[in-house]
């Protein structure tokens, strides 16, 4: 194998994991990061504090030897814990017994990846801003706050997030197809602190959801006994919106009316509400991800909304698949890039669309009787035919051998079949008498 | 009325017309253009040499007093002149007797608009490049090749085309939804020169089309007796493509096989093919078009592919509608911008989609028996009910009182009705016996 001089732009989750993979293959890897070292300075950078790590992310982290460390950092969430308006709680398992998604600290995981990369010999350079990219010379124009230098590499990877500088340079090239689109909702992070005795104030082994149609609150547990709570709300409009929640009274009365049982665990609500920004939610799609010796990965190529919990997992899977492609084609980087670019973008586009769809499901349908029955029937079919009818959520979250595109297509077909099932009269009483074998056949024949 | 200090970025067709409108309202207008004065230097800048001016463009040009000049510059094209592979020619009128679209020189029209604007007192500043926009200060950072200056205005309009610098600055703002997408085809301009006696080599009163599925040639007449010919071809792929037409032999044998009757009028084909670039075809959509005192118009906000002949016409209609909005709200610029932004983008998006659809129609269906019969039946219905069933092409091209969105929706419905009509057995023989009144009712009831 020929050692390459490689640069990675962006030392976030994806850039750091990619650095590990490439360094393990023996390349000389330097990572340039615009911000300070997050292991030394507390910088949230407007990003979510914790995340849900699931199978597609776990697999590559395990592959690079981090499973033992991970196990010390996660809190498994076995299902959705739904809070209705009256304070009633229902639990909906995410998958089968033993399956869970894992709440993990973004900063903690990023630090772990950077430590591992450094141990292997990756160089991290902080506070270097990428100003421009030369796609012919494979060079970066980098600014360290004082001087501007142009450095040449053999290969450059852009993992600098949804507002990527590498992608912005690529966008100026001819025939680069690109879209960024925002939903009308923003999000704001809030807190449910640990109790006085240091315990979790609410059940820690699930992802809490307060679904209220246009408004939604969710909470993920942290290792210190607190929960990071995220409020999703339209920026503007007729009903409650960020623009119309200004005074203490407005904020409190909104929570009292819409999320009363969460409010009682949120003593610092007003301070948190004022301190934290309302951030926007973007979907980014781009194509191609390659130009000559330069490749985009992660959010830089495909940012998604957070409602399927797959942004980070998809980015990690990018790294996993790129690594597989490298192992297949060895030194032939032109073929590696071409191959990766011909298969991966469609999967990233699929999860982007699924994440948008899942917002409607999370905020709306999860509180709906009919929807719960539908899920119950699907779970039953899955129990009868565990490999032949896998619910879409499980395909995406627990079955990394099924691609996002495949999961989307299969899920669509399942929905069509279930629509028909649900429209039959008296389904609530009669569903156990359905001809399940017939449904399976319908799924498999299409 | 309060005089405003206004800047327009881009002295193309749309910027120049907008300058006339705003100057006529008494404002102080300066137009900054990145290129040289096209009246003094021959610069094609990779743009098409001639264009089809139709009603939506004609109306505003007439409104600002340019009709008399226009009449001296145009060649009316009354319909499509179709060339099949064997050299057979058929004529398909675009609309009713007396209706035509008009071939006009881009440079000539642009020059006319600039002359008019200058006469009214608009200032043009050439070779000023817009480097950045400050949306809080309403200022432009402008570079004249030597120094960089920042100039403040009351209002700024971005009419700097599909690769707009103003829009690029807007794209960095939060919640700016944006997409740019390319079709697999590119285009290259070629020439059918005038004959030795100075005459047109082929019929000048139509838009010539050589439709061949994935490949298409069109020709529009120029005042000097020549035609500008445009070849549309995929950039790459299995069949003929720009990437695989390299040697003289390859180019000639492609034309001999696919466009034999055009080739005999193209003595300079090989020179033209080498001299002119293969340019890409982009669709741009953006939203919002406004930020504070800054507004995007024309291709900067909504570039379309050329297959409906509406890019320029839509941009001129932008100016017309903005002017109407100004006349309605007077000095209240916040309301003018808000109102324009709430109505115009959906129409621009509609024509963008229609233009993509029309590519398939132009290159493919216009040569199809079934399609011709469908058009014939529609023309017949239109003759019976001239105001109640207007073919989509006519709504878009000859009826500026029908918005693009409306034309798209009505056209979709007509297509649905006609699909049903065309699927009835023996339609070729029996179509005259259709219950046309019933079809009209179906169209109007939906």
Which pLDDT score is estimated for A47? 61
Residue the block writes with tokens 């430590």: A115
Q: Hey, what are A6's tokens? A: 């490689």
What DSSP string runs through B193-257? PPPTTS--SS-SSSEEEEEETTEEEEEEE-TTS-EEEEEEEESSSSSS-GGG--SHHHHHHHHHH
Which pLDDT score is estimated for A46? 53
Which pLDDT score is estimated for A362? 81
With beta carbons less than 8 A apart as the criterion, state whether B76 and B102 touch: yes
Provide the 3-class DSSP secondary structure of residue B375: helix
Which pLDDT score is estimated for A369? 82
pLDDT at B46 over 60: no
Which pLDDT score is estimated for A339? 98
> Among the listed ranges A59-68, A148-157, A247-256, B353-362, which one has the minimum average pLDDT value?
B353-362
With beta carbons less than 8 A apart as the criterion, state whether B299 and B315 touch: yes
In B226-370, which ranges are E strands?
A: 227-234, 279-287, 290-291, 294-296
The reported pTM is: 0.91
Contacts of A181 in chain B (CB under 8 A): 177-179
With beta carbons less than 8 A apart as the criterion, state whether B77 and B102 touch: yes
**3-class DSSP string for chain A:** CCCCEEEEECCCHHHHHHHHHHHHCCCEEEEEECCCCCCCCCCCCCCCCEEEECHHHHHHHHHCCCHHHHHCCCEEECEEEEECCCCCEEEEECCCCCCCEEEEEHHHHHHHHHHHHHHHCCEEEECCEEEEEECCCCEEEEECCCCEEEEECCEEEECCCCCCHHHHHHHCCCCCEEEEEEEEEEEEEEEECCCCCCCCCCCCCCEEEEEECCEEEEEEECCCCCEEEEEEEECCCCCCCHHHCCCHHHHHHHHHHHCHHHHCCCCCHHHHHHHCCCEEEEEEEEECCEECCEEECCHHHHCCCHHHCCHHHHHHHHHHHHHHHHHHHCCCHHHHHHHHHHHHHHHHHHHHHHHHHHHHHHHCHHHCHHHHHHHHHHHHHHHHCCCCCCCHHHHHHHCCCCCHHHHHHHHHHHHHHHHHHHHCCCHHHHHHHCCHHHHHHHHHHC
CB contact under 8 A, A177 and B180: yes
Measured distance CA(B440)–CA(B54) in Å, rounded: 27
Phi and psi angles of residue B74, each rounded to the nearest 5 degrees, phi first = -110, 155
Measured distance CA(B96)–CA(B398) in Å, rounded: 10
Measured distance CA(A125)–CA(B140) in Å, rounded: 34
Residues on chain B bordering chain A, Cβ-to-Cβ distance under 8 angstroms: 171, 174-182, 235, 280
Strands of the sheet with A148-152, listed across from one edge? A129-134, A139-143, A148-152
With beta carbons less than 8 A apart as the criterion, state whether A322 and A271 touch: no
* For chain A, percent of residues with pLDDT exceeding 70: 98
pLDDT at B43 over 70: no
Contacts of B170 in chain A (CB under 8 A): none
Q: pLDDT for B218-239, tens place per residue? A: 999 999 999 999 999 999 999 9
Residues near A331 by beta carbon (within 8 Å), at least 6 away in sequence: A1, A2
Which pLDDT score is estimated for B96? 87
Provide the 3-class DSSP secondary structure of residue B301: helix
CB contact under 8 A, A181 and B180: no
Q: pLDDT for A115-153, tens place per residue? A: 999 999 999 999 999 999 999 999 999 999 999 999 999
Confidence grade of residue B361 (pLDDT, cut at 50, 70, 90): confident
Asked if the bond preceding B288 is cis, omega within 30° of 0, the reply is yes
Q: pLDDT for A163-214, tens place per residue? A: 999 999 999 999 999 999 999 999 999 999 999 999 999 999 999 999 999 9
Residues on chain A bordering chain B, Cβ-to-Cβ distance under 8 angstroms: 171, 174-182, 235, 280
Measured distance CA(B37)–CA(B44) in Å, rounded: 12
Which pLDDT score is estimated for B445? 86
Contacts of B171 in chain A (CB under 8 A): 180
Among B174, B177, B235, beta carbon nearest to A181: B177
CB contact under 8 A, B175 and A182: yes
Contacts of B177 in chain A (CB under 8 A): 180-182
Measured distance CA(A438)–CA(A406) in Å, rounded: 21
Confidence grade of residue B197 (pLDDT, cut at 50, 70, 90): very high
Contacts of A305 in chain B (CB under 8 A): none
Kindly report the number of other CB atoms within 10 A of residue B411's CB atom.
Answer: 19
CB contact under 8 A, B179 and A179: yes
Residue the block writes with tokens 């979510």: A48
Kindly report the number of other CB atoms within 10 A of residue B399's CB atom.
Answer: 16
pLDDT at B190 over 90: yes
CB contact under 8 A, A180 and B176: yes
Q: pLDDT for B114-164, tens place per residue? A: 999 999 999 999 999 999 999 999 999 999 999 999 999 999 999 999 999
């Amino acid at each position: 194998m020929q050692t390459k001089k490689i640069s990675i732009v962006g030392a976030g989750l994806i850039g750091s994991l990619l650095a590990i993979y490439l360094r393990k293959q023996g390349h000389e890897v330097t990572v340039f990061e615009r911000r300070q070292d997050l292991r030394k300075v507390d910088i949230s950078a407007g990003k979510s504090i914790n995340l849900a790590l699931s199978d597609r992310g776990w697999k590559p982290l395990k592959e690079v030897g981090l499973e033992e460390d991970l196990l010390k950092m996660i809190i498994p969430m076995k299902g959705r814990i739904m809070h209705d308006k009256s304070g009633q709680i229902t639990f909906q398992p995410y998958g089968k017994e033993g399956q869970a998604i894992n709440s993990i600290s973004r900063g903690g995981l990023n630090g772990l990846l950077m430590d591992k990369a450094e141990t292997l010999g990756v160089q991290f350079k902080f506070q270097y801003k990428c100003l421009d990219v030369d796609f012919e010379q494979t060079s970066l124009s980098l600014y360290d706050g004082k001087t501007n230098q142009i450095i040449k590499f053999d290969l450059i990877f852009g993992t600098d997030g949804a507002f990527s500088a590498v992608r912005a340079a690529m966008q100026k090239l001819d025939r680069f197809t690109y879209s960024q689109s925002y939903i009308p909702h923003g999000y704001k992070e809030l807190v449910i602190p640990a109790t006085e005795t240091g315990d979790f104030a609410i059940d820690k082994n699930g992802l809490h959801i307060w679904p209220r149609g246009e408004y939604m609150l969710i909470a993920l547990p942290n290792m210190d006994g607190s929960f990071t709570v995220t409020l999703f709300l339209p920026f503007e409009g007729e009903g409650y919106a960020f623009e119309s929640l200004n005074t203490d009274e407005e904020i409190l009365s909104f929570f009292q009316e819409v999320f009363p049982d969460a409010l009682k665990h949120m003593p610092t609500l007003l301070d948190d509400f004022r301190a934290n920004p309302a951030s926007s939610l973007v979907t980014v799609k781009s194509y191609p991800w390659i130009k000559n010796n330069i490749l985009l990965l992660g959010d830089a190529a495909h940012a998604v909304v957070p409602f399927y919990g797959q942004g980070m997992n998809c980015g990690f899977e990018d790294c996993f698949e790129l690594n597989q492609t490298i192992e297949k084609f060895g030194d032939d980087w032109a073929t590696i890039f071409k191959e990766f670019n011909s298969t991966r973008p469609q999967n990233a586009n699929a999860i982007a669309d699924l994440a948008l769809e899942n917002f409607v499901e999370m905020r709306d349908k999860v509180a709906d009787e009919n929807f719960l029955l539908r899920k119950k029937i699907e779970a039953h079919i899955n129990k009868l035919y565990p490999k032949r009818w896998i619910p879409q959520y499980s395909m995406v979250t627990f079955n990394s051998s099924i691609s996002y595109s495949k999961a989307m297509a299969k899920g669509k077909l399942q929905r069509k079949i279930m629509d028909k099932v649900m429209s039959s009269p008296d389904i609530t009483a009669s569903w156990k008498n359905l001809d399940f074998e017939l449904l399976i056949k319908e799924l498999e024949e299409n």
